Chain A
């Protein structure tokens, strides 16, 4: 049966699409501008920031790859981000299991202490982290970044995963105890697999942070061997002059892994974010 729309429904639909398309434009136009700008000359960018390239400047990409040792920095970023995600997920999963599923004195205080870190600006950790890393001999190593990124993300990860684990029905765990599961098995066989969506969400936030972080990387490293991609982007900015075109090319290269990661994991990320919202 053909559905007929009332004038009010047509107007509502029209307004809905206008709103959605506007939001789409807000989300996509900056990316499109970035892509176009990465193919223009600096003079074109300075004189007419929103124009089209006269000739496609693919050379910007070649310069971006060559000048800032981007391949090496990309590898470093991948290593740091992957390692931080694995370490953060492992620590978070174990801590959240205890905080969500076990009853003990001071649990709420401990949970508050862990998650209160969300409210503290990372910049306030700069001096203590710098002291800690240099005194432990880890300055200018990738391990320093892995440890710091893991630690910085623990509050938000615990906040997300604990909430997710709390939503898992207690009966599942009780049944597993009757079947002979001990403490470790309850964690690894029952709760951990069921918390996958929550962990993926936390891991995604950790990955995005580790991939995009700049200030700590600048502070805790000093050579190309241990620096990450975000520092590479800044190689196009000197004290007074910025090679915007090459920098935008470098930015396009660096956001590709985040986009690819999101494309593969977006169902789990969205699932993880929304699952806790509908469960009581």
Chain B
């Protein structure tokens, strides 16, 4: 009996001690070295991961004994966002350095004293390295609590091989011309577009909706009520795209399925950001070299614009320790320098809010830069402009709109209810 109770006690002790023993040993660092934890989303399968890791290694080597940056991999973006929200709610910064997707939802983080205000530490030369517009978009009430880092344009992708099968060699320049081209594609047995209402943002259809809404309502359309006629008309056009010119599984379809239709050549027109251009499976498609990147024909009076977003902004934890704060600023200056950004852009094809002379050599990536430069102005997409909760409602109601359960007016009124004013 005594043996059994001893065994029980030993097992209890073992289960408490085992994790401590099994846990990785933390490297002992020199007393004066400042260790900065960077909760990085650019890890694992992300195309920016290798360049970012190399830059961190380079910085650590240069600052050996003084500053050491440790990447804390954040493999799942949605869970990572939850972690950021939870840690801020618990009164702690998630790490010394971390990224956020800048939008009205995350802009509320600016109210937290846990975040460093870069406006107070940014000198003129550092400020000049950033695109002024992106810097302004990241400023809330005079505070710059996140640095614009990765940006993106969200254009439309055209498989010109598919268009050529119907005798169309040039992209339509009017909305009527586009519908006529889509009708020809349908007649040739090719589904014109990849639409979707699934996931938390109805990603590809949300991009189409954003193009329509900005063209109809102007680049400041997101400041208007969602019941504005521009949104109602954009909703009608998006519904038409889903019901008449997309695959039959568009309602409820996720981004993977939407992209899959385009990759398989089942659809001729798609929408996504520059990160999609670097995919190996896209490069393996027979139509890869025929892909054309452009906007949509204007649905309204606003033309020659491009939908864009601040894809990732970098935040830092505020610190009363001046040396730590200086170390954070020093690393971020290194990371956001033109040479560092060029290295990340070169391997990933991503676009950044930092001015560099870098231009991609790959044709498809180059088209993104050309389109961005050619656009007279840019406007946010719905998610970037109105935040995650509004976009979730948009996605959920878009399915109902496409199925004819609600009218475009009702759709807009339902989304409008989610907007905090």
Contact = CB atoms under 8 A, between A and B. Distances in A.
A239 B70 CA distance: 20
A80 B18 CA distance: 9
A79 B18 contact: yes
B23 A188 contact: no
Contacts of B46: 238-239, 241
Interface string B77-98: 1011011001101111001000
Interface in B180-201: none
A244 to B, nearest CB: 7
Interface in B1-48: 1, 4-5, 8, 11-12, 14-16, 18-20, 22-25, 37, 39, 41, 43-47
A243 B49 CA distance: 14
Contact of A146 (B19, B47, B49): B19
Contact of A86 (B15, B264, B281): B15
Nearest to B19: A142
B44 A240 contact: no
Contact of A82 (B5, B15, B83): B15
Contacts of B14: 86
B22 A219 contact: no
A87 B274 CA distance: 49
A185 interface: yes
Nearest to B25: A225
A235 B279 CA distance: 17
B256 A46 contact: yes
Nearest to A220: B83
Given A90-B11, A127-B89, A239-B46, A143 B72 contact: no
A131 B77 contact: no
Contact of B15 (A131, A146, A215, A219): A146
B144 to A, nearest CB: 23
B47 A241 contact: yes
Contacts of B217: none
Interface in A216-238: 218-219, 222-226, 231-232, 234-238
B76 interface: yes
Nearest to A86: B15
B83 A219 contact: yes
A200 to B, nearest CB: 15
A237 B75 CA distance: 7
A47 B260 contact: yes
B358 interface: no
A126 B86 contact: yes
Nearest to A43: B281
Contact of A43 (B80, B83, B284): B284
A197 to B, nearest CB: 18
Nearest to A214: B79
Given A146-B15, A242-B45, A189 B79 contact: no
B76 A234 contact: yes
Given A46-B264, A215-B79, A142 B73 contact: no
Contacts of A110: none
B45 A236 contact: yes
Contacts of A244: 256
B46 to A, nearest CB: 4
A238 to B, nearest CB: 4
B79 A188 contact: no
B12 A130 contact: no
Given A80-B19, A86-B11, A141-B23, A43 B263 contact: yes
A75 interface: yes
B15 A240 contact: no
B126 interface: no
A189 B5 CA distance: 10
A142 B264 contact: no
A270 interface: no
A235 B72 contact: no
B91 A131 contact: yes
Interface string A244-260: 10000000000000000
Contact of B12 (A46, A86, A126, A214): A86
B83 A218 contact: yes
Nearest to A143: B19
A237 to B, nearest CB: 6
A83 B19 contact: yes
A235 B20 contact: no
B369 interface: no
A184 B23 contact: no
User: Which of A47, A131, A143, A240 has the largest count of B CB atoms less than 10 A from its CB?
Assistant: A240
Interface in B124-151: none
Contacts of B49: 238
Nearest to B46: A238
Contacts of A31: none
B243 to A, nearest CB: 23
A20 interface: no
A48 interface: yes
Contacts of A131: 90-91
Nearest to B260: A46
A74 interface: no
B178 to A, nearest CB: 26
Interface of B: 1, 4-5, 8, 11-12, 14-16, 18-20, 22-25, 37, 39, 41, 43-47, 49, 70, 72-77, 79-80, 82-83, 86-87, 89-92, 95, 256, 259-260, 263-264, 273, 275-276, 279-281, 284-285, 312
Give the top 5 A-B pairs by smallest Cβ distance, nearest first.
A225-B24, A47-B264, A142-B19, A46-B260, A235-B44
